[in-house]
Amino acid sequence: MVPKLILTGFMATGKSTVARHLARRLGWRLLDCDAEISARAGKPIHQIFRDSGEAHFRAMERSVIAEISSDRRRCAQCGHPRPAVIATGGGAIVDPQNYAALRDSGVIICLSARPDVIARRISAGVKARPMLAHGGMPVKQRIAELMEERHEAYARAAITIDTSERTVDQVVDAILDALADAYPTIVQALPSTAHNPHGPRK
């Protein structure tokens, strides 16, 4: 069975963008947890935090992840389980219930980046990152604090790819290479255009 590929990791490590490109490369369905939560609430994530608080957001996140990870629907044409690439929000995997559900439904891939790279990437949009606006703490300090708090949760991923110095396509290639090493049977089941370690990459 081809499982789901789940992209997780700290804010601004590229999860949503890489998930979109990876899904396109594989011809798989893309599911973005934060986009789904936002669509259900009818407002952006930072407004959910502002209006209803973090606990409410986490409850929505838990229910979306439970639904997505238990989706066992099959393809109408071939009858096989429908594969998907899933992007989670940066805090999702910290919750043990979310972690267990995601681990059981596929391969968890953590995207990482150096704190200075994260600070640079989010510099224009700190207001849209409620977890970084914490008691007026300087952003770099808050990034370091949250990374330290979450270190163990992210370390449970099956594969970790550092995106600090890679383009989006290079991250997708690195994911497919790491999958080929750790899960050769999954890669054998992928479309031949997705993974060609000896040929040119598009």
Q: Which residues bind ligand S3P (CB under 6 A)?
A: 11, 15-16, 34, 45, 89-91, 129-131
CA distance 6 to 19: 8
Shortest gap between Cβ of 72 and ligand S3P (angstroms)?
Answer: 25
Which residue number places its CB atom closest to ligand S3P?
Answer: 89
Which residue from 122, 102, 126, 106 is spatially nearest to 114, judged by alpha carbons?
122
CA distance 109 to 155: 10
Nearer to ligand S3P by Cβ, of 34 and 173: the residue is 34
Shortest gap between Cβ of 160 and ligand S3P (angstroms)?
Answer: 15
CA distance 36 to 18: 17
- Please check whether residue 23 is in contact with residue 31, taking contact to mean a CB–CB distance below 8 angstroms: no
Nearer to ligand S3P by Cβ, of 58 and 166: the residue is 58
Nearer to ligand S3P by Cβ, of 69 and 190: the residue is 69
Shortest gap between Cβ of 47 and ligand S3P (angstroms)?
Answer: 11
Shortest gap between Cβ of 22 and ligand S3P (angstroms)?
Answer: 15
Nearer to ligand S3P by Cβ, of 122 and 194: the residue is 122
Tokens coding 46:
């930072």
CA distance 64 to 55: 14
